[in-house]
């Protein structure tokens, strides 16, 4: 199991942390199977060899996916054994639990906190089903307290990571002595529909990867505090857009819904939403030094850049993560955050903006301050 953790410690001079949640640490975890994009494409092309049109479309997608490789939950022979939704979900239950624990332990290892100190878990996924949700086995595996609170979040898709950070920050303003974990685990490869040669499924097969991330957030009166304040958040729901993105639940599992209209929605709406959000804090887009954007894919990143008038260099971190690990759904924006914190680029007083979009269609924004 490959994993990584990062830590940052400097206090922010001259910035009030009164009753604001702070981000203390981020842990990351990936399955051990890393596959270069060309190898993945070759295997998919072989599987769909009887569908010549599908193979040609797949080759064209390879040129525009922006992905160089991805972590995958299983080896190729193991995927061939998944001939039912039940088998795919059983694999998800096993591997997602392992990754959730690895990411959580890696994040906590960057602090003096222990599993017993956690008061609330916000568990995010959209690629598998479990009742009880996977935070329950996680509590057992890590021997957390019996009174730990659990908020499972399913169905926000790629927006789930940013949304969960925002909800956790809201909770910690009400319970300032508490510590919360946001854990996102996505095993997108287990949702592949092997007999579906639709453009949406072909895109998904070349774009999405697997992995997990865990964010430790502390209330303003918690035993530890981080350096990054979650100043505010904003949720935006676009009416009558349910068929833009999501899942159709079919006999073989999760069948992706992904409209070509997503970039147009971004270009038409994102700038006004961001402007209104920043304005209530007396800020403008030029006030934001760090843009923490979900790695939604080339067309989405291009649309975000056009809407917000951001050049490629400003979005370089998201482009780089897209190339390295693909789109890891709700975990992606947390992986971008981890990369930013690892870089040490942020300085006291800097503002950052987390942005992720997902089914609904919706957007989740979180304003950060160092």
Mean pLDDT per block of 10 residues along the chain (370 residues) reads: 38 53 97 91 75 65 78 93 94 97 97 97 97 96 97 95 98 97 97 84 87 97 92 95 90 89 92 96 96 93 95 93 96 97 94 95 96
Question: According to the model, what pLDDT value does residue 170 have?
Answer: 97
- What is the value of pTM for the model shown? 0.91
* Residues whose CB is less than 8 angstroms from the CB of residue 179 and which lie 6 or more positions away in sequence, other chains included: 24, 113, 117, 118, 119, 120, 216, 217, 218, 219, 222, 223, 224
Question: Is the peptide bond between 15 and the residue preceding it cis, with omega within 30 degrees of 0?
Answer: no
Question: According to the model, what pLDDT value does residue 317 have?
Answer: 95
Question: According to the model, what pLDDT value does residue 206 have?
Answer: 85
Domain-wise residue ranges, the chain:
27-218, 227-369
Q: How far is CA 148 from CA 115, 121, 194, in A?
A: 10, 7, 39
The verdict on whether 158 is a catalytic residue reads: yes
Q: Measure CA of the first residue to CA of the last residue in the chain; give whole Å.
A: 32
H helices of 81-220, where?
A: 85-108, 135-142, 160-174, 199-207
Residue 234: count of CB within 10 angstroms of its CB: 18
Fold of 27-218: Peroxisomal Thiolase; Chain A, domain 1 (3.40.47)
Give me the long-range contacts of 130-139 (CB less than 8 A, separation at least 24): 130/93, 134/93, 134/96, 134/97, 134/100, 134/185, 135/100, 135/183, 137/97, 138/97, 138/100, 138/101, 138/104, 138/183
Question: According to the model, what pLDDT value does residue 173 have?
Answer: 96
- Among 62, 3, 59, 54, which residue's Cα sits nearest to residue 28? 3
Question: According to the model, what pLDDT value does residue 47 have?
Answer: 74
Tell me if residue 149 falls in helix, strand or coil.
strand
292 with 337: CB under 8 angstroms?
yes
Question: According to the model, what pLDDT value does residue 13 have?
Answer: 35
Residue 319: count of CB within 10 angstroms of its CB: 18
Question: According to the model, what pLDDT value does residue 51 have?
Answer: 65
Q: Which residue has the tokens 């019996």?
A: 146
Would you tell me the crossing angle of helices 160-174 and 332-343 to the nearest 10 degrees?
Answer: 70
- Of 158, 188, 214, 218, the catalytic one is 158
Question: According to the model, what pLDDT value does residue 130 have?
Answer: 95
* Residues whose CB is less than 8 angstroms from the CB of residue 272 and which lie 6 or more positions away in sequence, other chains included: none
Q: Which residue has the tokens 């857009």?
A: 241
Question: According to the model, what pLDDT value does residue 56 have?
Answer: 64
CATH of domain 227-369: 3.40.47.10
């Amino acid at each position: 199991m490959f994993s990584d953790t990062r830590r940052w410690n400097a206090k922010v001079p001259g910035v009030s942390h009164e009753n604001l949640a702070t981000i203390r640490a981020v842990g990351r975890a990936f399955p051990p199977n890393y596959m270069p994009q060309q190898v993945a494409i070759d295997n998919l092309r072989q599987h769909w060899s009887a569908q010549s049109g599908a193979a040609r479309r797949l080759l064209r997608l390879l040129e525009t996916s922006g992905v160089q490789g991805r972590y995958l939950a299983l080896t190729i022979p193991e995927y061939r054994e998944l001939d039912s939704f039940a088998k795919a979900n059983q694999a998800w239950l096993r591997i997602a639990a392992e990754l959730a624990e690895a990411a959580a332990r890696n994040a906590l290892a960057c602090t003096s906190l222990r599993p017993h100190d956690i008061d609330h878990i916000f568990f995010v996924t959209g690629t598998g089903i479990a009742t009880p949700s996977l935070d329950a086995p996680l509590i057992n595996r890590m021997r957390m307290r019996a009174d730990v609170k659990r908020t499972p979040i399913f169905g926000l898709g790629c927006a789930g990571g940013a949304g969960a950070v925002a909800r956790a920050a809201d909770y910690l303003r009400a319970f300032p002595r508490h510590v919360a974990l946001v854990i996102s685990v996505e095993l997108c490869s287990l949702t592949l529909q092997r007999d579906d040669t639709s453009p949406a499924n072909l895109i998904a097969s070349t774009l999405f990867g697997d992995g997990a991330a865990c964010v430790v957030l502390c209330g303003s009166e918690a035993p530890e505090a981080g350096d990054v304040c979650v100043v505010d958040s904003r949720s935006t729901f676009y009416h009558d857009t349910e068929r833009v993105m999501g899942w159709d639940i079919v006999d073989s599992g999760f069948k992706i819904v992904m409209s070509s209209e997503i970039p147009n929605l971004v270009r038409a709406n994102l700038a006004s939403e961001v402007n209104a959000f920043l304005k209530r804090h007396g800020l403008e887009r030029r006030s934001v030094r760090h843009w923490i954007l979900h790695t939604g894919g080339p067309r989405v990143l291009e649309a975000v850049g056009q809407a917000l008038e951001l050049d490629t260099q400003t979005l370089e971190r998201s482009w780089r993560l897209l190339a390295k690990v693909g789109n890891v759904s709700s975990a992606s924006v947390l992986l971008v955050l981890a990369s930013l914190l690892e870089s040490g680029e942020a300085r006291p007083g800097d503002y950052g903006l987390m942005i992720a979009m997902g089914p609904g269609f919706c957007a989740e924004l979180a304003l950060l301050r160092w």
